[in-house]
Amino acid sequence: MTKRRTDGLAVLSRLKRHEIEAVAQQMAEVNRALGVIEAERQDLLNHINERGDPDAIESARVHSAFIRNVSETIHRKEAEAARLRESSAGVHQQLNGLFADAKRLEMISTSRAEQRKQRRNQLETAAQNEAFLAIWLQDRAAD
């Protein structure tokens, strides 16, 4: 196998590694965004629970509007989180595909290295056999 082919596999392996890192970074960003959404949602729910006395008549209308506004915000956040989860699933599949490609390249590289090693061993064995045969023939001719 030529040096160019080996170098080509190394280049492909490095490219796959860079692609995997880029997709993993995307997944981290999606997960971070989901964490932010969940934290905001939890803060809104806590804010509703900590709000003043809901039984006070003068605050009932304001409290009701506040709860409605927070509920709408929570629903928007949940819809955004669902969209991000769907996006995350696609990115996860892409990452799995890239890992499979990288593993395939690694297996090809390992297989080719093993083939080169076996070929080198065969050549060495053939050279040794030829040397031994030459020595044997010299010894026989000398007798």
* Range in 3-7, 35-39, 46-50 the model is least confident about: 3-7
Percent of the chain with pLDDT over 70: 86
41-61 pLDDT tens trace: 888 778 777 765 555 555 666
Could you tell me which residue, 115 or 13, shows the higher pLDDT? 115
Model pLDDT, residue 115: 92
Q: Which of 38, 40, 65 is nearest to 51 (CA)?
A: 65
pLDDT at position 60: 64
**pTM higher than 0.75, yes or no?**
no
Residues 84/34, Cβ–Cβ less than 8 Å: yes
Question: How many independent structural domains does the chain possess?
Answer: 1
CA–CA dist 128, 109 (Å, integer)? 28
Residue 84 domain boundaries: 3-142
Per-residue confidence at 125, pLDDT binned at 50, 70, 90?
Answer: very high
Quick check: 50 and 128 in contact, CB under 8 A? no
Highest-confidence segment of 1-5, 38-42, 86-90, 132-136:
132-136
Residues 6 or more apart whose Cβ sits within 8 Å of residue 85: 34
Is pLDDT at 123 greater than 90 in this prediction? yes
3-state SS, 29-40, equals HHHHHHHHHHHH
